[in-house]
Amino acid sequence: MIFRQLFDVVSSTYTYLLADEGSKRALLIDPVFSQARRDLALLEELGLTLALVVDTHAHADHITAAWLLKQKTGCQIASAKVLQAENVDLPLEDGQEFGVDGVRLKAVATPGHTDGCMSYVLSDQSMVFTGDALLIRGCGRSDFQQGSAHKLFESITKRLFALPDACLVYPAHDYNGRTVSTIGEEKAFNARVGGGANVTDFVEYMHAMKLPHPKKIDEALPANMRSGCPEDGRLPEDPSWADIHVTFGGVPEIDYNWLERHLDKVTVLDVRLDEEVKDAPVSEALVDLHIPLDQLRARVGEVPKDKPVVTLCRAGRRSAMAVNILKESGFEQVASLSRGLLAISRH
Ligand code: FE
């Protein structure tokens, strides 16, 4: 199985990518709206098809990317039936098995943080995605969204702690950079519910917590009840000047196909060394300007500011650095030619 743990720094949310190496079909657990482009870039770079997205609950701190990813890929949306969120293709009930070819999960109802919380256990019980029911050495709050400390205690101790001790625990959040735990570890060391805590220990602990109202709840909850569909039902507008694809590495790139059709609208900057240009010249119809990468900072004033800039080099690595240098110098509309001149020779 292909497995990736992704992190959204704004909401401290973990998104999980699970895919089958054979079928190349993937599912995402708890994708974040503002990270959809990142997730799509990773799926593309790994050669995966997104078939399903699933949320562990109606989040109060971020908007799910479920709807947006469905618009982009045609994937299905799964979430707890009791939530009754809109735009859901696969409403999940306790005990239901679901997933994609080669990656099967079982839904386990774990209410308490919210009424609609579900955890998802991998079919061999080697991993569990616990949402906000069980966090590493902690748990989700139980003071809003029909939360109940009593129910949460039952969910954790009766449902999750019934899993094998070696089962890896992957939560929806961590605010201290911890990435994974195990059921055995949490049974022993969880700060609220581990070490033989009983329901009184837990409930008293939870009730003594005084937490501020979640900042984003008024915006996030209604949107998440639509599976992340904006109120006007429209895709967010793409403000970019070109058909830009941001790689998982964060580089804005354009394809040669796009460049060929828009040569008059951009300045094309070749950042290869002088000797490379001599050995492998490129048509003047394509390249407007040649400044080797190691001279770019000093000579950035030579780059015209009237048009967007597309940087190119042999393989598309140095041209990505050139994008950074141009951005530092105040250029906003810049992109690197994907795969550089290798894209043209193979064209
Ligand atoms: Fe939550």
CB atoms within 10 A of CB 321: 16
What's the gap in Å between 76 CA and the centre of ligand 1? 22
Q: pLDDT 10s per residue in the chain (347 long)?
A: 999 999 999 999 999 999 999 999 999 999 999 999 999 999 999 999 999 999 999 999 999 999 999 999 999 999 999 999 999 999 999 999 999 999 999 999 999 999 999 999 999 999 999 999 999 999 999 998 889 999 999 999 999 999 999 999 999 999 999 999 999 999 999 999 999 999 999 999 999 998 888 888 999 999 999 999 999 999 988 878 999 999 999 999 999 999 999 999 999 999 999 999 999 989 888 999 999 999 999 999 999 999 999 999 999 999 999 999 999 999 999 999 999 999 987 65
What's the gap in Å between 51 CA and the centre of ligand 1? 24
Question: How far is 269 from 326, CA to CA, in rounded Å?
Answer: 11
What's the gap in Å between 88 CA and the centre of ligand 1? 19
What's the gap in Å between 18 CA and the centre of ligand 1? 21
What's the gap in Å between 114 CA and the centre of ligand 1? 7
What's the gap in Å between 113 CA and the centre of ligand 1? 7
Question: How far is 188 from 38, CA to CA, in rounded Å?
Answer: 36
What's the gap in Å between 132 CA and the centre of ligand 1? 5
> Is the domain defined by 245-345 classed in CATH 3.30.70.141?
no
What's the gap in Å between 133 CA and the centre of ligand 1? 8
> Is the domain defined by 2-224 classed in CATH 3.90.1150.150?
no
What's the gap in Å between 263 CA and the centre of ligand 1? 48
What's the gap in Å between 56 CA and the centre of ligand 1? 8
Question: How far is 29 from 17, CA to CA, in rounded Å?
Answer: 7
What's the gap in Å between 316 CA and the centre of ligand 1? 41
Measured over the CA atoms of residue 311, residue 312, residue 315 and residue 319, the dihedral's sign is negative
CB atoms within 10 A of CB 344: 16
* pTM greater than 0.85: yes
Domain ranges across the chain: 2-224, 245-345
What's the gap in Å between 339 CA and the centre of ligand 1? 41
What's the gap in Å between 124 CA and the centre of ligand 1? 26
